[in-house]
Structure formats: structure tokens, C-alpha cells
Structure 1
Amino acid sequence: MLYLTMVVAFIASIILTPLVKRIAFRLGAVDRPNFRKVHAKVMPRLGGLAIFGSFLIGYFILRPSEPVFGSAEAGIIPLDLAILIGAFLIIITGVLDDIYEITAKAKLLGQFLAASIITIGGGLEISFINLPFGGELDFGYFSIPLTLLWIIGITNAINLIDGLDGLATGVSSIALLTLSVMAFIMGDVFVMSLTALLAASSLGFLFYNFYPAKIFLGDTGALFLGFMISVFALMGFKNVTIVALIIPIIMLGVPISDTFFAIVRRLREKQPLAAADKSHLHHCLLNIGFSHSQTVLIIYGVAILFGLAALLFSQATLWGGILLISLMLIAIELFVEVVGLAGKNYRPLINLVKMIGK
């Protein structure tokens, strides 16, 4: 039944996207070129509506069983209902921004309300973790703030990488498929089903969003995907060991690392954290000579490696996990150094990578 519903969601996304495209033009929800954009013509936004609509179609056909980790203890409403309400609030926030370009504070308020529905309404929170060498760390009053920070942080991380055709959609699809496999391993049918449905909806939209894109995700789509990924990742790894809690961080390595370096860069340059720039990973790869599609495919490859690493990490022993994290941190540092230096000193390296890509 799940596979059939995934096909339905995939086809629904392909059908809905052209309709959303026309609606975007009529509402004036368009992205106009400027100094930091890589597109040269006016593009429709609101693409996330197609993903949201096809996901809802799949959800109401499948009607997945209640979540394993739910709100029976502390939540006010069922967790599945809280997820739908939170997603709707995020969609409203994104639509308003795509049409009217609301302020960063207004967007943050919408994200905070949606995240609050999940934590306070649905009862989903990081309340404690078991330490690797014994003992337990109870977050107490900090559990809800930490959960809110996670949801809002991942939501914005996906939004920040939405700078090239198909980039955020593809990276999100890879993360969702990884989450689905992880949920299958853990026996969590609810998370497995919803992540698979959302991945199918995103892949259907990718037909129109990959380079050269016919429609953009817009904040509607980027915020929605980031929000849902943050919630699903949290559902599978709350109240567990500190090692297992690292799994979703590894899984979302591309947006998290890009966001981390963006924050460091803006603090160093004494710029506001919300300030826009052209120094994200995809900008750097473009600047050193890779084409639009090559850049996107390279980042897809990195995202797949992070996903595979997360799967390996979930099956590793404690010391194996620590070793894997150490190797990943070294790999990230080397990648950043190579990207930073390639444009200045390593043109032969770039040409070699291009030849391999061909």
C-alpha cells in the first residue's frame, strides 16, 4: 500500500506543479533577479504548495498508523494532528513571504508558532539523553527550548541552501529517503511512511525544479521541507543515547555545515546573522568554475555520503561511532579547505573533477 501511495503522491506532484506555477504568476509570487541570484529571469515561487498538496493527498489515502513516539504523556493533541497543524502554519508563513516578502522577524514568528505546536501541543521534545559511559542527562526546563531550537534551526538550514535549481529539493529528498530507511530499521512505520511520501512528492516536483528550473520552491517549499525533516528526525532519536542523537545531525550534514560556516563567516565579518551573501557552498563551487548542474550534483553526492554515514553510524559500536565522527570532521575540514583554495591555486584539480564528471 505504501509503494502505491508513493506513486500517487509522485504523480500528484507532477500534476499540481504546473497549476501552482500559474497561481504564482497570478499572485505575483515571483523571484526577480538581483546581484546575489544566479537566475537571469523572473521565476515563479510557491513551488512548496505542490509538494504540500501531493503530500496531503498521499497522507489521507494511506492514513498511516499512530506514531511510535507520540504525545500520550505530555501533549495536548495527538502528535500526527500537531504535525499537520504545524505544517499548515509553516506553509502560510512561506506563502506570505513568497508573495509579500515579509520581514525575517515575521518569518521567525511563524516558525516559532509551528514549532510550539509540535513541542507543546504534540508533546514532542528532547527531554533527556543517556550518556555513553553511564548516567543520564536530564534537560529539565531546557527540553522545550532545545527542541524549538532544533526545529527552527533545521528549518532555516534547508532554506539557506535553497540557492540553485533543484538544490534544496534534492538534498531534502536524500535526507527524507535516509530517514525512511532509518525508520524502517527501527520499526517506526509512521515515520517511515511519512518520510517516504514526502520524498515521493519532492521528487515529483524535482522534474520542474532541476536545472533549468521552471519553478522555484520558494520559502513555501524550503521552510516546509526543513520543518518536516526536523520533526521526523527528532521523532526517531529523542530520549536515546547521545551517540544516537548525533545520527540526524550527520544525516543533515550538508545544510547544517553550510549554516554553521555561514554563521561563523557573518560573525567574523560583523554582519547580521540574517544578512544574505554569496559565500555559501554552492556559491563557492560556482566561483571556482563548476557549472550550475555540476555544482548541484556534487552537493547531492556529498549529501548521499552523509546519509550513508548516518546509516553506518546507526549500526556502529560506541567507539566505532566516535571514530566515524572524527573521520567525518576531518573530511569536512579538508573539503572546506579544498573548496577555499581551489579557485586560487588548484585549477588542475577542478579540471580533473570536471573530466571525471563527464
Structure 2
Amino acid sequence: MFIVASLLTSFLLSLLFTPIAKNIALRFMILDVSNTNLKTHKINTPYLGGLSIFVSVLIASTFIIFLYKIMIPFVVYGLLTSCFIIIALGFTDDIYKLRPLTKISFQIIAASLAWTAGIRITLTGLEQLDIILTITWIVSLSNAFNLIDIMDGLASGVAAISSFFLSLICLELGDIMNGLLLLSIAGACFGFLKFNFNPAQIFMGDTGSLFLGFLIACSTTQMFQYKEYSLEVLPVIILGIPIFETIFISLLRIKSGIPPWKGTKDHFALRLVKLGFSVKSTVILTYLFCVFLGSISLIFFYSRSPILYCFFLITVILTLIGWILSKVDITDTQHS
């Protein structure tokens, strides 16, 4: 009942707030304008979808906390403050287009605040190294979701599916609060998909993609402390798509002599379109692979099999996919 209530509440709230966000964006002309060679959409589309996701997650989580009388740990207040920083950063970037160094700097500040509040990866036992690992995980995943937000419904769908599988593992491990947050993310993103799936009526913008990546990263830090059966690799497997995209794009850009943070059309989704897949089929194919990653993770988790075997299998599969896609010529790749 807890799972259904969390998913349904955030889902309905997202259905309510997204049209409101769309109307506000249209009224104040907060649009993603198709005016550069990096833009792959042809119609100016409203932003602010990220704000509707954030508000839905916040209200849904608060409602479920009071409904089920869940104890609120101090760490949640620090997390909320960090999320406000990320939301402000993403919103500002959507309007004014900040420089990469500025964005990274504020993400590091938010991640450092989260660490101070108690959101920590304690993988090595060495505090200095664990601080670096925590900040790297949070900042990298925030930008990873930002990278895959290049096609209608892609980032929101991947966030919804991966968050759902991650929430099941959190709840099974007794991590109720993070399980609740991930369920709220899943429900809000599923609701947002009604308006974001191709052809999209509204985009989440950096406000949404950075927020989703940041909150998912923070909500999964506790998983790294479970070393039995190598459970610490579970979030890496389930979040394999945004992580793969980050590594894939970075390697291709470095190979081409381009800084990893410089925008290009090297994205795996655009390469699939170039191979002949439609936008919808590309996004659905990505969803199915995301479900595959989540399902195989659950199978290994509940069977208590060494998860490292699963990790190595997925790594081989993604490496092969990356090698094949790297051969695709992405010149003049477009999608509507």
C-alpha cells in the first residue's frame, strides 16, 4: 500500500502541475528555442517541466511522511536545501545559459552540503577519499541525466524506471526514506511523461534533469555501504544508461579533441535515429533496456547471487553497444 500511495500521489500531482507549468512558461516566454545547430527539435517548446516534477516530489513525499507517520531524519533537511540550490541553478541555466564551470561549481557546493548533512558514500573507510567519491557520484549523475535529456521523454522515462527499481531495493534493505523519495520521483516522472513523450508539449530543462540526477544520486548513496554479495554495484547497474551515456560521450569527444563538457551530437540516442529508428522507437528501446537492467539487478539481488557477475555482464554488453554506435556517422542528425 505504501508503494501504491507514493507512486499514485506524485503521479497525480505531476498530472496537475505540469499543465500549469506549461501555461506559465508560455505566458512568460520561457521556451527552449530551436536556434542552434545543437538543438534537435524544430518547434519552440515551453520549459519549467522540471519545476512541476520538483513540486510534485516535494508535496508527495511530505504527504506520505505525515500519512504514514515516518520519522524525518535531520539529513532530509540538508538534502532539501541542496535540492533548492540545484533547482535554482537549473532554472537560471534554462534562462541565461550559464558556463559549464559555473554549473559544476554550484553542483559541487550542493553536493558538499549534502555530505555535511550526512549523505555519504562510505565505501573505502577513508574519509577524504569517501568525500571525493560522494561528490563525484552526485555531480556525475546529475550531469548524466542532463546528457540524456536530448529527446522527447528519454530522460524522464529513464528516471521513472530506474527510480522505481532502486526504490524496491531501498525498501527491501529497510531504507524507507530514500525508498519514498525514489518512489515519488518515479510517480512524478510517469505523470510528466504524458506531456513529455514524443511529440513533447513541455521540456523539463536543466531544472528537471539536474534535479532528478542529483536527488537520485543522493538517494542511492546508502546502497554503497552494503558490501555483502557486492550489493554496492546495484545502483551503478540500474543507472547504467545515464552512466553509459556519460562515458560514451566523454570518450568520443576526447578522441575527437573536443572537451567533454562541450556540446556535440555524439549522443547514443541520436546515433540510433541515424541507424533508422524513429524517435519513439529509440525512446521505447531505451526504456526496455532500462527495464532489463532493473530486472536483472532484482534477480541477482533476491537470489543472493554475487552481483559482480551481473556487473561484468552488463559492462560487456554496453561496451559492445558503445563500439557499434561509435561507428555510426551522425552528420546532420535531426529529430522532431
Q: TM-score, normalised by structure 2?
A: 0.90
Distance in 2, matches of 1:317 and 1:215, equals 42
> Per-residue deviation at 1:88?
1.1
- How do 1:153-192 and structure 2 match up within 5 A? 153-192=140-179
Candidates 119, 138, 152, aligned match of 2:115: 119
Distance in 2 of aligned mates of 1:290 and 1:80: 42
In the aligned structure 2, how far is the partner of 1:60 from the partner of 1:138? Answer: 33
TM-aligned CA distance change 1:207 to 1:145, over 3 Å: same
Tell me the SS of whatever aligns to 1:254. helix
Distance verdict in 2 for CA 1:127–1:324, change over 3 Å: closer
Distance in 2 (CA, whole Å) between partners of 1:323 and 1:316 is: 13
| Aligned residue in 2 for 1:14 | 15
Alignment match of 1:249 (pick from 236, 243, 250): 236
Give runs of aligned pairs for residues 77-96 of structure 1, distance below 5 A: 78-96=74-92
> In 1, distance between residues paired with 2:85 and 2:59?
18
Identity, in percent, stands at 33
Query: Is 2:264 the counterpart of 1:277?
Result: yes
Matched residues in 1 for 2:31 and 2:161: separation?
27
- After superposition, residues 6-155 of structure 1 pair within 5 angstroms as 6-33=7-34, 34-63=36-65, 65-66=70-71, 78-120=74-116, 122-128=117-123, 137-155=124-142
Partner Cα distance (2:56, 2:309) in 1: 41
Query: Which residue in the other structure is 1:329 paired with?
Result: 315
Q: What TM-score, normalized by structure 1, do the two folds share?
A: 0.85
Deviations 1:15-48 (A, max 9, x none): 1111111222334321111322221011111211
Aligned residues: 325
CA distance in 2, matches of 1:299, 1:205: 17
1:165–1:210 Cα contact (<8 Å) kept: yes
Which runs of 5 or more structure 1 residues have no equivalent in the other structure? 71-77, 129-136, 345-358
Amino acid at match of 2:163: L
Helix, strand or coil at the partner of 1:65 = coil
After TM superposition, the structure 1 = structure 2 runs for residues 306-325 of structure 1, keeping only pairs within 5 Å, are 306-315=293-302, 320-325=306-311
Structure 2 residue ranges without an equivalent (≥5) = 331-336
Deviation track 1:89-138 (CA, whole Å, cap 9, x = no partner) reads 11111111111112212211221121112101x1222233xxxxxxxx42
Q: Distance in 2 between matches of 1:250 and 1:211?
A: 27
The range that moved more, 145-154 or 233-242, is 233-242
Change beyond 3 A, Cα 1:60–1:244? same
User: Contact (CA 8 Å) 2:159, 2:185: kept in 1 or not?
Assistant: no
Matched with 1:234 is 221
Determine the C-alpha separation between the residues in 1 that align with 2:236 and 2:135.
15
- Cα distance in 1, alignment partners of residues 314 and 71 from structure 2: 35
Q: Which stretch of the first structure deviates more once superposed, 271-280 or 207-216? A: 271-280
Whole-Å separation in 1 of the counterparts to 2:58 and 2:313: 40
Q: After the TM superposition, which of the residue ranges 258-267 and 105-114 deviates more from structure 2? A: 105-114
Which stretch of the first structure deviates more once superposed, 304-313 or 145-154? Answer: 304-313
Alignment CA distance shift 1:24-1:266 (3 Å): same
* 1: CA distance, partners of 2:53 / 2:41: 22
8 Å Cα contact 1:125-1:238 kept in structure 2: no
Output the aligned Cα RMSD. 2.1
- Measured in 1, the distance between the counterparts of 2:97 and 2:328 equals 36
Offset at residue 12 of structure 1 (A) = 1.5
Cα separation, 2, equivalents of 1:310 and 1:290: 27
Which structure carries more relative contact order (alpha carbon 8 Å, separation 6+)?
Answer: 2
Q: Does 1:302 align with 2:289?
A: yes
Deviates more, 1:30-39 or 1:221-230: 30-39
The one-letter amino acid paired with 1:113 is: I
Shift of 1:341: 5.3
| Corresponding position of 2:205 | 218
Q: 2:184 matched to 1:197?
A: yes
User: Take 1:96 and 1:341, find their aligned partners in 2: how far apart are those partners?
Assistant: 36
SS in 2 for 1:237: helix
